[in-house]
Amino acid sequence: MFRLRASRATLFLSFLLVLAASLIFLSPHGHLTPSHDDPAHPPFDLGLSGQNSWLNFISQSSSALFQSVADLPGLQYGTDGLVRGWEDVHELVEHGGVGLKKKDRKRLKEVRDRHPIETLIELGKQRWETLLARQSKTLPQAVTEYTRRYNRAPPKGFEEWWQFCKRNKVRIVDDYDQINRDIEPFLALSPELFRRRLIIRRVDLSPTTESILSGERAVSVRAKALFNLLEPIAQYFYTDVTFYGSDHDMGKNLLGDDQRQAALEAVREGRFLTEMDLKGYEKTQGRVAVGGLASACPEGSPAWNRSLDIQEGRMVGPLTERETTFIYDHQTASDFCVHPRLTHLHGALSFDTPRDTVLRPLFQYSKLSLNPEFLTTPLEAFANLSSSAAQEKYSPWEEKTVNKLFWRGSGTGDAYSKRKNYNWRQSHRTRLALMAQRRDGDEEVWVKRGREWEKEKWGVGKLNEAYLDVGMSGKPHQCKQEDGTCDEMASEIKFLDRVPQEKAAQYKYVFDVDGNGWSSRFHRLLSSGSVVLKSTIYPEWYSDWMIPWYHYIPCKVDYSDIYHIMSFFSGSPEGRVAGRDDLAQEIAMHGREFTEEFWRWEDMQAYMFRLLLEYARLAAPDRQTASYHKSYT
């Protein structure tokens, strides 16, 4: 852990041992909307307004895009973040559309002949253009929009934040819903209780005008990088801000949905939760009817219901799904409450035990959507794209000659061992490596034949040869030697050599898959000029800004969509039919543009500046006084 205190004064570093945590201290000179975190009712929030959703956006756009007709099957945008229904349309057309009018059969054929990825790309483009067009142009507009979204006044210092954004050409000024999701539950704690929870992990130091980084982890590269980001903006703060930051890969707590909803209800009713209230909600055992990870989920969610069925001895169906689906809402598709299968597919969820459910004011680099911490901006591997070194890592699309998906990575992402109800081969990184080295068996893949798409059976060996250059590098890592797991991994996984950067740059498609937490590779991969396929369960600070199918290609954690995606963009497995290389190039270009214009040093400062203003209000003795009171309505 580390502690930071900053001001416009000359930087001074001091180090102080802290046992449980450390803190960051920044010193200057001198009726709520319903929760957007309920996985049982996913928001799919486009930011069109605090009330509107992805599904509303799609319903408004779909008629122009694919001429959907009432009572006819078509693409279905589920509340699980996945689009499906294409196979049903194929089946209906193959059977002649019995009982349908001629015009309806024609429209069905149009849906059949249009790959869902084409539709998702067009929707992504519309979504991005809408997001940019609706950004506030003036401070009064920004204040009004903030109030409309969150039904409260902005925090004090909002005007200084706005001026910082204008000076530094920060283009996205309204869409900070991730910050709201993080701070909302803490509004149910009184300022006194909030500060007491800080004191549990704080070190008393007299405030100075110096900028100070301290704590037992103050020497870490991550702590210093965050300090360097924040120290220059401390001069714009109206008050001292004290907070704790962890340099661990991710937080360990999961805030139970029962506690989250109780907190939001308390805020709506204008009251605070008491210590006695919290004590009941913070029990890890016997708090709710289900156990394990599902105990953090909303009652009635898929994970909750499945856990209850198993607990009570009822038969449960398989978690696999054979129908072809693609992601349209990445955050919802990555929610284990909505997709309980993820607990068997991702290393971060491989220990199905209850986690601490405590509202703790801690700044964290990486978290699950249910973690009760404040998401910050990791700086590991971030590169200023204006530097010559960063420019050398970029290669134009025309110079990329390998039409395959590339990935090399170490065995991070899990603690591999032999334990009950766990198989290390199913964890997200090991499973990817084993999938790519398979040579036996068949898989069905959608392939373009003439004007139509047909589902064909292909040998896995041929598919991997055509589409993948994927493998784990190094040697077994984060595994238990004592129980033989490391030896099993060494025997079963074909560990490959690392690939020089200049060779990796030749690949048109690159894969970004979770490690132990957030991806330090994503910025570099986006800026490389290749198109990035990304599989993740972690929200990031930019998640409200970056649009799937416009800036990158979302990939499911089970990887069941990889061959379909590669067939669409790269072409048929035998190479006779070309893919949509043009669309892949566009996504690659959009991803690089995002890193150049929306993922700059200044954009991360703007995010943290706004987060710290919200945080300062939470800790203020009088939150009304710590609010921005100019009204423009």
Residue 244, H or E segment: strand 241-245
Q: Which tens digit of pLDDT belongs to each residue from 445-473?
A: 999 999 899 999 999 999 999 999 999 99
**Please, are residues 509 and 530 in contact by the beta-carbon 8 Å criterion?**
yes
Instruction: Answer whether residue 39 shows pLDDT above 50.
Output: no
Instruction: Answer whether residue 31 shows pLDDT above 60.
Output: no
Q: What is d(CA 209, CA 160) in angstroms, rounded to the nearest whole number?
A: 20
The pLDDT of residue 540:
95
Q: Is residue 470 packed enough to be buried (19+ CB in 10 Å), middle (13-18) or exposed (0-12)?
A: buried
Instruction: Answer whether residue 478 shows pLDDT above 60.
Output: yes
User: Is residue 57 very low, low, confident or very high in pLDDT (cuts 50, 70, 90)?
Assistant: low
The pLDDT of residue 373:
92
User: Is residue 383 very low, low, confident or very high in pLDDT (cuts 50, 70, 90)?
Assistant: confident
The pLDDT of residue 72:
54
Q: What is d(CA 130, CA 52) in angstroms, rounded to the nearest whole number?
A: 13
With the C-alpha atoms ordered 87, 89, 90, 91, is the resulting torsion angle positive or negative?
positive
**Please, are residues 105 and 93 in contact by the beta-carbon 8 Å criterion?**
yes
Q: Which residue stretches of 12-101 are H helix?
A: 54-66, 86-94
The pLDDT of residue 512:
97
End-to-end C-alpha distance for the chain, whole angstroms: 43
The 3 state secondary structure assigned to 518-529 is CCCCHHHHHHCC
> Which of 23-32, 328-337, 372-381 is predicted most confidently?
328-337
Q: What is d(CA 518, CA 369) in angstroms, rounded to the nearest whole number?
A: 12
What is this structure's pTM?
A: 0.88
Residues of the chain above pLDDT 90, percent: 66
Q: How much is the average pLDDT of 318-338?
A: 91
Average pLDDT, the chain: 85
The pLDDT of residue 437:
97
Q: How much is the average pLDDT of 257-272?
A: 96
User: Is residue 61 very low, low, confident or very high in pLDDT (cuts 50, 70, 90)?
Assistant: low
Q: Which tens digit of pLDDT belongs to each residue from 596-611?
A: 999 999 999 999 999 9
- Packing angle between helix 116-133 and helix 54-66, nearest 10 degrees? 120
Instruction: Answer whether residue 612 shows pLDDT above 80.
Output: yes
Min mean pLDDT across 146-150, 208-212, 357-361, 575-579 is at 208-212
The pLDDT of residue 27:
44
Q: Which residue has the tokens 């002949």?
A: 113
Q: What is d(CA 219, CA 217) in angstroms, rounded to the nearest whole number?
A: 5
> Nearest to residue 534, comparing CAs of 249, 348, 335, 546?
546
The pLDDT of residue 520:
87
What does the CA dihedral 94, 98, 100, 105 come to, rounded to 10 degrees?
20
What is the token pair recorded at 482?
A: 């004592």
**Please, are residues 23 and 243 in contact by the beta-carbon 8 Å criterion?**
yes
* 212 vs 485, higher pLDDT: 485
Q: What is d(CA 174, CA 149) in angstroms, rounded to the nearest whole number?
A: 9
* 50 vs 131, higher pLDDT: 131
